[in-house]
Amino acid sequence: MRVYLFVIFTLQCYTSIGAHSKLTIDEFFNATSFQSVSLSPNGQHLLVYTRKPAWDLNSYDNSLWLYTTDGSKKELITTQYSVFMEPKWSPSGDWFFYYGNDKVTANSTDDRELYRHSGNKDSKSQQQIHVYSVTSDELLSIDIGKATPSALTWSATDSSLYFAAQSTESTEDADRLYEAEWKDVIEYRRRKPNYGSVIQRIDIKRKHGKVSVKLHSIKHVDFIVSDLLLIPSEHKIVCVSMPEMFENLSDIDLYAIDLHDTSSLIRLTNNQAIETNLQLSADGKHVFFQVYPLKLENETFSSAQPQLYSIDLTNGHIAQWGKGFQGAVRDYSIRSEGGVFILGQLGTNVHVYIQQSVSQYACLAPGWHGSYRSISSSKLEQYSSAAFLYSSFDRPEEVYFTKHIDGLPWAKPVTHENQLLATRSLPRAKLYRWINHEDNRMIEGILHYPPGKLGHKNLPLFVLIHGGPSEASMNMLHADYYTWAPLAATEGWLVLEPNYRGSTGYGDQFLNEISGQLLSRPGRDILAGVDSLISDGIADPTRLNIGGYSFGGFLTNWLITQTTRFNAALSGAGPVEHISMWGTTDFPVYVNTLFRGFPWEVPEIYEKESIMSKLNAAKTPTLISTGTNDIRVPADQSYILERSLTYLGVPVKLLLFPDEGHTLSNNPWHGKIKAREELKWLAKYDHVPQAKVET
């Protein structure tokens, strides 16, 4: 009888998945991801920066490709290992620049570490900016000194660019005197006399077929410049200041430099927020920027979802775009016809919205469900084409192009990098909603069913918790160590990705409901989701498992102190001890916001949300993993958890990834080995239901 049932079952399996074969872990981690997409001003060319594992080199290869949008040509411009800066088109669109030395292999692409180490941990080799002509195929490589540039932009013409790089020590004599006095001792927080960045202009001159290049120093500023934009009509440069650590949000703001009087430095914003991604409006008078707001002042500890703002450079007036939109602004692009395209995340989808002017509402541009990313539009008025990245549960990410935004539902793929994934038997996903009865909030999550098992009951459960917390699990397929739900589902797990309280896409209030309850509230949202799956008969109550990375690791660490119902736990780069986390992370202001204050101001919250003081309740076998160079969630957090669980006699293993920061972006083996071991850990401990201590 049993055998008979099994035969019928496998037959059903084959008919429902047809000829598609199973996705392997090697295939999953061999996928291509996209760093950026950039459409030329006339809409005829497309720059696509891809990132692929270079397994033999223990690295990634970042390749810049030039496509024609009519599909007639695809050309490799450069391949670099672990170096990336977004390429940009010149004003006429005849040229683009890209950065990087083909010979040099820098070790870190983690943004924060790039800021921290550029300049002081100098490569000692000449840095180069390359400009390439799409009309003549001419390539010009420009030496810009030894400091890594932190920002780069075109001027008003094709023959000049601006860049910022960290300034190096002024005189070698001063260096020698300092070293004689201090040897290798570091004075923490001491700024070198010349600390900051130098903004320089590159002038390219052509005479009688000869090209000459000159560098002019424009201004020294006493901060790291993370973004740079020239405003030709106002004869100004606008830049964003970025500190080495997020200790004080006043360190991050927009500044303007008047090119007629470069002694000036005008502060344009003064807010408790992080600004990024400067773009110039079509009328040339407004600078757009994205804002990640965090509020710390006046006892109002709150954060809001990422937003879009513009500043009028003629009068300093700041306006918010996409007002009334309940979700998060993920990206945007200036439209040649005026206004902007906004990529807005609402629930688990990111759609394209069009906003004509600041006083109008953003309107949905009908397209596909799923996640749009990195939209880029043509800049000359007679063209209105757009290029973007798109992915959904069953469509791996590719670059798409449409001649007009009205044609969004008929956009054509330009790349076919991840076709292999699409031919595999992928898990089916659907939304799942439940109520946290504590305060009757509805919570949404994504359920990934093992291939061929959509709608089946009593499945073994793995809850995969996203990081952030101000992020979300979304309708997309990105094959990496962080969003690996499809791989886990392929291995037989029913995967729940909960968009717990604190996630983006559900309104600012939903985000803020974790303030002062950063672990207990989202933790209970997740436990309520597990209860709901059990009472709906979908999850097998004896086969429950959890895991996550970053904030997802933080929640995992808390959850194992609250219940012994989970058979196995996967804790990736998760904090465990609040005060040492606050004291050593590069992002302490965010920790403050989540806890509503410093450890000495609200010790009761630190205690109420404590993991360490409740850790003796933990029984769940836990696999921990961390990058050794992580500065966001320092590896110390993982050592503390590993030592504690070892003393407590709970099965535990710690995986250390050398030379990796928080994003495990240096060596593709690390992410793959992490997922391989995590799958093994789940398989090993899940089938042994633990002894329930209390009952």
Burial readout 650-659 (b: 16 or more C-beta within 10 A, e: otherwise): bebebbebee
Least CB distance to ligand NAG at residue 105 (A):
5
Q: Are the C-beta atoms of 603 and 634 separated by less than 8 Å? A: no
Q: What is the token pair recorded at 634?
A: 């320092």
CA–CA separation, 92 and 108 (whole Å): 33
Stretch that binds ligand NAG, among 103-111, 457-465, 488-496, 674-682 (CB under 6 A): 103-111
Give the HSE-up count for residue 159: Cα atoms under 13 Å, Cβ half-sphere. 9
| Residue 250 touching ligand NAG (CB under 6 A) | yes
Stretch that binds ligand NAG, among 104-112, 258-266, 334-342, 633-641 (CB under 6 A): 104-112
Least CB distance to ligand NAG at residue 601 (A):
12
Which residue number, 106 or 294, has a Cβ lying nearer to ligand NAG? 106
CB within 8 A of 148, min separation 6: which ones?
106, 114, 118, 119, 122, 123, 127, 165, 166
Backbone angles phi, psi at 420, to 5 degrees: -55, -45
Which residue number, 69 or 80, has a Cβ lying nearer to ligand NAG? 80
Which residue number, 298 or 440, has a Cβ lying nearer to ligand NAG? 298
Helices vs. strands in the chain: H and E counts, helices first: 14, 37
Among 222, 536, 601, 659, binds ligand NAG (CB under 6 A): 659
CB atoms within 10 A of CB 507: 16
Among 141, 171, 248, 360, binds ligand NAG (CB under 6 A): 248
CB within 8 A of 76, min separation 6: which ones?
63, 64, 65
CA–CA separation, 390 and 343 (whole Å): 11
Least CB distance to ligand NAG at residue 108 (A):
9
Which residue number, 58 or 92, has a Cβ lying nearer to ligand NAG? 58
Stretch that binds ligand NAG, among 99-107, 306-314, 539-547, 642-650 (CB under 6 A): 99-107
Which residue number, 27 or 397, has a Cβ lying nearer to ligand NAG? 27
CA–CA separation, 158 and 132 (whole Å): 11
Least CB distance to ligand NAG at residue 58 (A):
9
Residue of 453, 455, 397, 447 lying closest to 425 (CA atoms): 453
Q: What is the token pair recorded at 71?
A: 């599909």
Q: Where are the alpha helices (DSSP H) in 274-426?
A: 419-422
CA–CA separation, 480 and 462 (whole Å): 17
Stretch that binds ligand NAG, among 100-108, 273-281, 380-388, 445-453 (CB under 6 A): 100-108
Let me know if 564 is exposed, middle or buried by CB neighbors in 10 A (0-12, 13-18, 19+). middle
Least CB distance to ligand NAG at residue 691 (A):
41
Q: Are the C-beta atoms of 573 and 626 separated by less than 8 Å? A: yes
| Residue 628 touching ligand NAG (CB under 6 A) | no
What is the x/- site pattern for ligand NAG, positions 199-238, by CB under 6 A? ----------------------------------------
Which residue number, 107 or 310, has a Cβ lying nearer to ligand NAG? 107
Which residue number, 114 or 539, has a Cβ lying nearer to ligand NAG? 114
Which residue number, 107 or 305, has a Cβ lying nearer to ligand NAG? 107
Least CB distance to ligand NAG at residue 413 (A):
17
Which residue number, 253 or 525, has a Cβ lying nearer to ligand NAG? 253
CA–CA separation, 596 and 512 (whole Å): 11
Q: Which residue has the tokens 């996705």?
A: 23
Q: Are the C-beta atoms of 511 and 654 separated by less than 8 Å? A: no
Site for ligand NAG in 8-27 (CB under 6 A): 26-27
Per the DSSP assignment, residues forming a β-bridge with 37 are 48
Least CB distance to ligand NAG at residue 106 (A):
6
What is the x/- site pattern for ligand NAG, positions 24-53, by CB under 6 A? --xx--x-----------------------
* 95 to 38, 379, 638: CA distances (angstroms): 13, 14, 47
Which residue number, 295 or 653, has a Cβ lying nearer to ligand NAG? 295
Least CB distance to ligand NAG at residue 298 (A):
4
Least CB distance to ligand NAG at residue 269 (A):
13
CB within 8 A of 275, min separation 6: which ones?
227, 240, 252, 253, 254, 269, 289, 290, 291
Least CB distance to ligand NAG at residue 208 (A):
40
| Residue 107 touching ligand NAG (CB under 6 A) | yes
Least CB distance to ligand NAG at residue 511 (A):
19
Least CB distance to ligand NAG at residue 28 (A):
9
Least CB distance to ligand NAG at residue 79 (A):
13
Per the DSSP assignment, residues forming a β-bridge with 164 are 151, 199
Q: Are the C-beta atoms of 33 and 389 separated by less than 8 Å? A: no
Among 135, 136, 298, 382, binds ligand NAG (CB under 6 A): 298
Q: What is the token pair recorded at 609?
A: 């949300």
* DSSP state letter for 251: G
Stretch that binds ligand NAG, among 105-113, 367-375, 500-508, 637-645 (CB under 6 A): 105-113
Which residue number, 69 or 418, has a Cβ lying nearer to ligand NAG? 418
Stretch that binds ligand NAG, among 102-110, 154-162, 176-184, 377-385 (CB under 6 A): 102-110
Which residue number, 271 or 326, has a Cβ lying nearer to ligand NAG? 271
Stretch that binds ligand NAG, among 101-109, 165-173, 189-197, 492-500 (CB under 6 A): 101-109
Which residue number, 421 or 489, has a Cβ lying nearer to ligand NAG? 421
Which residue number, 519 or 591, has a Cβ lying nearer to ligand NAG? 591
CA–CA separation, 251 and 528 (whole Å): 40
Least CB distance to ligand NAG at residue 52 (A):
6
Q: Are the C-beta atoms of 194 and 167 separated by less than 8 Å? A: yes
Site for ligand NAG in 314-373 (CB under 6 A): none
Q: Are the C-beta atoms of 34 and 374 separated by less than 8 Å? A: yes
Q: Are the C-beta atoms of 238 and 229 separated by less than 8 Å? A: yes
Which residue number, 57 or 442, has a Cβ lying nearer to ligand NAG? 57
Which residue number, 4 or 600, has a Cβ lying nearer to ligand NAG? 600
Least CB distance to ligand NAG at residue 670 (A):
13
Least CB distance to ligand NAG at residue 225 (A):
17
| Residue 105 touching ligand NAG (CB under 6 A) | yes
CA–CA separation, 599 and 482 (whole Å): 30
Give SS3 for 578.
helix
Beta strands in 261-346 (DSSP E): 266-267, 273-280, 286-295, 302-303, 307-312, 318-321, 328-334, 340-346
Q: Are the C-beta atoms of 285 and 293 separated by less than 8 Å? A: no
Rg (CA), the chain: 26
CA–CA separation, 323 and 166 (whole Å): 37
Least CB distance to ligand NAG at residue 30 (A):
4
Size of the site for ligand NAG (CB under 6 A): 10
Least CB distance to ligand NAG at residue 23 (A):
11
Which residue number, 358 or 602, has a Cβ lying nearer to ligand NAG? 602
Q: What spatial distance separates the first Cα and last Cα of the chain, rounded to whole Å?
A: 36
| Residue 168 touching ligand NAG (CB under 6 A) | no
Footprint of ligand NAG on this chain (CB under 6 A)?
26-27, 30, 105-107, 248, 250, 298, 659
